Amino acid sequence: MLARYWLLSALTLLLVHTGFSQSLDRYTIIPRPAKLDPRAGQFILSRTTTLLIPPGQADLKAVADTFARQLNRATGVSLTVRLSNRMAVPGNIIQFIPARDTSLGTEGYRIDITDKLVTVEASRASGFFYGIQTLRQLLPPAALAPTRQLPDSGLTNLAIPACRIEDRPRYVYRGLHLDVSRHFFSVSFIKQYIDLMALHKINTFHWHLTDDQGWRIEIKKYPKLTQVGANRRETLVGHYDEYDPQVFDGKPYGGFYTQDEVRDVVRYAAARFVTVVPEIEMPGHALAALSAYPELACAPGPYSAATKWGVFDEVFCPTEKTFSFLQDVLTEVIGLFPSKYIHIGGDECPKVSWKNSAFCQQLMKREKLKNENELQSYFIRRIDKFVTSKGRRIIGWDEILEGGLSPNATVMSWRGVKGGIEAARQQHDVVMTPGGFCYFDHYQGDPAQEPTAFGGNLPLSQVYSYNPTPTELSPAEAKHILGVQGNVWTEYIPDVDQLQYMIWPRAAALAEVAWSPLEGKNYDDFSRRIPSLFARLSSVKTNYARTVYDAVPVSRATADGRVAVSLKPDKRLANVTDIRYTIDGSIPSAESPVLKDSVLLAQTATVRTAAFAGRTPLSQLAKVQKEFLVSKATGKSYTLQYPAATGRPDKNLSLTDGNTVGMGGYEVAGIVSFAGDFGLTVDLGQSQPVQGVRVGFLKYTAKNICLPRQIEVSVSDDGQTYRPATTVKTNAQENGKRTIVRLPVDFAQTSARYVRIVARSIGTVPADMRNPGKPAQLGVDEVEIR
């Protein structure tokens, strides 16, 4: 069934995408060009290939030289770059010709490829550069490698498939962000990051350099920013609410970029037509700066860089001393970054310290400001005036709209699309970056199978589905949508390997959203190109997530007391032919059975699944697994003695369906919660021997969900008269890591049709927990009866 589905999808793809219908696998460019006409034949790169450029084109020569060096490093083919007439040059030729018309704009290009000649046309060096990135993607993945991988015998495979391409971007702003405050990343990695951005025609690197957890850029006038503010004494372990009390690693953490390193990165990016936009956070997210210069706060301090994540009340105080400090900082930043935009943050600024500050309240009266939101607007307007005086423009998160927006400001809309729509209607330029489509720190698959992430779920298909231009806007308003940006916040991303895993392939999907025409987007076609993307990423030694191949098992209880396991319906890649599975604990292989419709479990088992293309594994084979519980309670009806809470209600007898919950981020999916005690009565259908129960309870005291103090079990033959089976004290250990605790309760074997289980709440959260004295809840997973 599943194999036929994928075959049908592939057939539909062939019929619909006639422009790519000839040998589709030859053209795996991401982002997809605006227009591509396939041709038979191919151009073979060899040691006799020459790059021809017209004289007097220094920028173009630099682009061509870089292309030649990259190919030589990866393949050993030393291409010659010449300023000469191609008729006088032996061998095949790649020629670069300035376009005579203006239809391509500043970043567009044309490519014409035959077996003897490749012609690249563009009106600007940037257009030639993007044309070359397309050629690089048309070559075998080995041609992208940082060091030579091909032997001389492999050089005959350096083929570029023949075609004609005409291409230009949909949006002028195509961004990728990186937070280096929460976790720091080296200059060498930043350069690799920029390389992959450029390969996918992403043209803006948003460098988030300061936050509560660390100040990461050298400022000569204020050396304590890096001497003190760049360092935190330790870092939170696990997710924010994973442990109660929270656990810290006890290890000092720091790092910053010198101004020379910043200049190096900016030059490196410029050579790849990537603009670096620095972000200096204000007025909130300022703890690292205040740890170095506490006099900039409204209260005397002392302060220290944050050791955990979140939003903190300590922010810059809008004094003249603060504005002098920030202007000095921005002066040095502007001297390092030639970008049009300087990002000043503006998000998540609590107003508590301003409300409690006599100075701020007097300032509000003097400036006739109605509230603290208008005080934030006053703050932003002053910074905007200063940045504008330096010939630059500010850009900030959509909170800068609050209290009135500075006239020159550009808005990054991250809290959904509302802020972007509002700003565009006020004639402000906008970069769309809503969390629901653009936050790569969110999970991309089943949280139970994924590394720790912030929360939420953003699968590849959802990224690809995004249209940055809201349909609510008029054509005139829509012109203010400059483009789109992917954001990578690193609270839970401590190293390069995990960072790359979180970014790729989602950044490639967003690159296509930003570049390709809206009418040309098609996820099935995009998925056809993903295997080539993965091969290219492997060639450049970059990690990536294969979550798109994950086949997540789900279940339903059957009338005869078994569990039917099938696959969660989702948008996987079109080259998957089979999903194979095991239930004996082994890793799926090409010999494992194919999961077609469903598999029936007659006893508790852990199901592992993996995607295959024929006999070739596509998944991370040891990754996807889930336990399903089968007991005498499975599929049986029950009644609740106490109503479930509305926030986590009971759905479709979910406590006896055999399906265990998964945990990730801030949420626990599938838990049923109760404000006080929990009780249910299971009808086994007929009288039978029973000798124990087991109930899964959630221990999550950071959210006031505690284990029960006592469990009572009683049984009945008629559902009217119950006799006690046992009562046990749980003696539960509440502190520690969030988890599901499956509490077993045994009793002497007896015969019964009805089994009643009552769990008594401890009443209030214990004194040594995060929220002592708060009403305790019970969170219940699955109920088993033996």
Q: Return the SS3 of 639.
A: strand
Amino acid found at 370: K
* Intra-chain end-to-end CA distance of the chain, in Å: 36
Six-digit token string for 466: 């995004």
Q: Nearest 5 degrees, angle CA 705-CA 708-CA 712?
A: 150
Q: Can you list the pairs that 653-656 forms with residues at least 24 positions away whose Cβ atoms lie under 8 Å?
A: 653/557, 655/680, 655/780, 655/781, 655/782, 655/783, 656/557, 656/682, 656/782, 656/783
Residue 357 buriedness (CB in 10 A; 0-12 / 13-18 / 19+): buried
**Between helices 320-336 and 372-389, what is the axis angle to 10°?**
40
Contacts of 702 (CB under 8 A, 6+ apart): 241, 243, 244, 738, 769, 770, 771
Q: Return the SS3 of 59.
A: helix
Concatenated DSSP letters of 333-388: HHHH---SEEEEE--S---HHHHT-HHHHHHHHHTT--SHHHHHHHHHHHHHHHHH
Query: For residue 592, how far is the Cα from the chain centroid?
Result: 32
- Number of Cβ within a 10 Å radius of residue 566: 17
Six-digit token string for 582: 């095991």
- CA-closest candidate to residue 677, choices 704, 699, 708: 708
Helical (H) or strand (E) element with 177: strand 173-179
Please report the sign of the dihedral spanned by the C-alpha atoms of residue 488, residue 491, residue 494, residue 498: negative
Amino acid found at 437: F
Q: Return the SS3 of 80.
A: strand
Please report the sign of the dihedral spanned by the C-alpha atoms of residue 243, residue 246, residue 251, residue 257: positive
**Strand arrangement of the beta sheet that strand 553-557 belongs to:** 553-557, 563-567, 599-601
Q: State the DSSP code for 152.
A: G
Cα-flanking dihedrals φ and ψ of residue 659, to 5°? Answer: -95, 120
Quote the CA–CA distance of 116 and 41 in Å, as a whole number. Answer: 10
Helical (H) or strand (E) element with 332: helix 320-336
- Cα–Cα distances (Å) from 131 to 66, 103, 168, 637, in that order, read 13, 15, 10, 63
Instruction: Indicate which residues carry an active-site annotation.
Output: 348
Quote the CA–CA distance of 74 and 209 in Å, as a whole number. Answer: 33
